Amino acid sequence: MFLSKENCRKLNKMTLKNKIEFSIINLDTWITQNGFSGFDPYDVKSIHLIRKITEYGNKNFLFEIFREIIFELFLMFPNLSRKLLNVKPQINPKAIGLLAKSYIDIYQVFNDEKYLKKAYECINWLDENYSKDYPGKGWGYPFAWQAKEEIPANTPNGIVTTAVADAYWSMYKLTNESKYLQVCSEICVFLIDLPKDKIDEAQICFSYTPIFVNHVHNLNLFVAEFLIKVGQEVDNSTWVETGIKATNYTASNQMNDGAFDYNGPPEKPQNFVDNYHTAFVLRQLYSIWQLTKDEKYFNILEKGYNYYINNFFENDRIPKFTKTRKYRIDIHSSAESINCLCELSPHFPKGIEIAKNVATWTIENLQDKKGFFYHGIFKSRFIGVPFKSKIAYIRWGEAWMLKGLSNLLKTIKYV
């Protein structure tokens, strides 16, 4: 169900700030009652049988159709499919990192100690659950997942680790306690050790995991941004220089229209430019420009930003999946578009109005009366009818929306 009629009436009478606060409180209440464990869009795909179907689907056309039918059923009946396949909720380190960062932001807005206590709870969990198998500190997904080869469960990777890193950095900036900066430095030890492809003397690309080399722009910039930021703080020129070389790689591969493909060369182009991965790239470019004051990064950012706001929103309100596809309207797109547009708003103020619109639309259309957010609105590939996937994904949806809404609330407070 959507929000109850009573809550809808309340929302209609509220100011935007009140709506966001109301939504945050409802979501946080659900998270508190649910706990940190939850389902994930990719947990069901890690089951051996489903991995085999996926493998055969990559080789055989009939199996590909069978695979896509199964995946659509997972979207239509997400809770039932997990029950039938005995998928258990898990704690995902990325969710914990996002929640920690969100609670820090909420604490700074509300000045309520209970949110700081929740942030510490998340940090304490992360302290105890990093990977011991690689140099430094890194975190990974609690399930196996498929890239160009299978990644075992709990293998630390750059995306999860930088989400966690953001929480430690925010806690350091909030408290000025050196122990959090020390963890940030240990995270950099892990990140700098990820496989790197040296393109030339001025460009490198970081890989997603320690297992193999690949080229993914958003991951590359998440790693680069954190290395530059922490490197400047602790006076480690190697981290800074390496981060700048990684930034140069992604910057040099911007398309003529301002977009960024998901993959970078020499990977085969995916010709896939979507909402939230584009926003990830822009958000990191913005931070890197602020850290380095290099105007070439701002020029690339500006071109990318204009492409983003002109192509990824229907009526400046509904986050589209790609430039030409409205569906899927993914909670991930809602959350990250709010995040990105808020963080860029000091220099791109038009974005804050779009962020407000997206937040309002998402609260009204995707938040359940229990407080959690649905996965999104999908359109059947076989019968052409839109449907809602009414499941709570703690990492993919709930933690990201708490971060997006808390970011928006913090931004509104200071504008």
Count of C-beta atoms within a 10 Å radius of residue 76: 15
82 HSE (CA, 13 A, CB side)? 20
Number of residues that make up the chain = 415
What single letter denotes the amino acid at residue 302? Answer: E
Of 9-13, 125-129, 360-364, the least confident: 9-13
124-152: average pLDDT: 92
Burial (0-12, 13-18, 19+ Cβ within 10 Å), 256: exposed
Count of C-beta atoms within a 10 Å radius of residue 10: 14
Cβ burial 41-52 (10 Å sphere, 16+ → b, else e): bbbbbbbeebee
pLDDT confidence of 109, banded at 50, 70, 90? very high
Question: What tens digit of pLDDT does each residue of 278-309 get?
Answer: 999 999 999 999 999 999 999 999 999 999 99
Q: Which of the listed ranges 46-60, 63-77, 300-314 does the model predict with the highest average pLDDT? A: 300-314
Is domain 5-41+88-413 classified as CATH 1.50.10.20?
yes
Rounded to 5 degrees, φ, ψ at 386 are -70, 145
Give the relative orientation of helices 237-252 and 275-292 as an angle to the nearest 10 degrees: 130
pLDDT confidence of 13, banded at 50, 70, 90? low
Question: What tens digit of pLDDT does each residue of 322-357 get?
Answer: 999 999 999 999 999 999 999 999 999 999 999 999
Q: Which pTM was predicted?
A: 0.94
Contact 43/74 with Cβ under 8 angstroms?
A: no
* Mean pLDDT estimate for the chain: 94
Return the pLDDT at 1: 45
Domain ranges of the chain: 5-41+88-413, 44-86
Return the pLDDT at 9: 59
Which one, of 285, 277, 404, 397, lies nearest residue 344 by Cα?
285
